[in-house]
Amino acid sequence: MKDNKICPVEKAGGLDNSVRRLLQNPEKKLKPYIHEGMTVLDLGCGPGFFSVEIAKLLNDTGKVIAADLQHGMLEKLRQKIKGTELEQRIKLHKCKEDSIDITEKVDFVLAFYMIHEVANQDKLFSELKAIVKPDGQIFIIEPKFHVPKKSFESMITKLKEIGMEIKERPKVFFSRAIVLKNTA
């Protein structure tokens, strides 16, 4: 999945700050989709901006798989949750360069600002289809400044072709967003 467009670890501070929290409030964006007992994949988790909030929304009944290609991002998240109860609910996972490399079935996938960083999106979508449980959901959010509307719609078409159906198109600040359901 490696591509030269990946946000470097050195810029991780910009991914987890109070301004972003105001503009893209993780609890507000995810609360309608996250329910106790779920297994949630935060794909391209970075320093854990969403992973931590997902774990809180799950209470003590589910788990988060925080997956990233970069060891440095996972290390930032590890340090953030070290010594807290969240350490038991967030499983850190390093993806392979060309694969998510997860076989565990999940109820929900969050892919925030990362699909455009993946060179082989068809392979990524096939992997997601294989790990998302029937009726499970994928919430994809892409930045408008990197992903033109035509490219975003093309991505949705590919997802529909493999058996995902559009559930809704939530509004996300400066973003294109969609929630899809696995129909298989």
Cβ burial of 26 (10 Å; 0-12, 13-18, 19+) is buried
Reading the block at residue 145, the tokens are: 């400044």
Domain ranges of the chain: 9-182
CA distances from 9 to 35, 74, 77, 90, 157 (A): 30, 10, 11, 20, 32
pLDDT of residue 121: 94
Q: Would you say 173 and 144 are in contact if contact means Cβ atoms under 8 Å apart?
A: no
| Percentage of the chain lying above the pLDDT 70 cut | 87
Residues of the chain with pLDDT under 50: 1-4, 12
Q: What is the predicted pLDDT for the residue at 106?
A: 98
Residue 28, SS3 per DSSP: helix
- Report d(CA 123, CA 132) in Å as an integer: 14
CATH architecture assigned to 9-182 = 3-Layer(aba) Sandwich (3.40)
**56: nearest Cα among 74, 79, 30, 82:** 30
Q: What is the pLDDT of residue 19?
A: 55
- d(CA 111, CA 118) in angstroms, rounded, equals 11
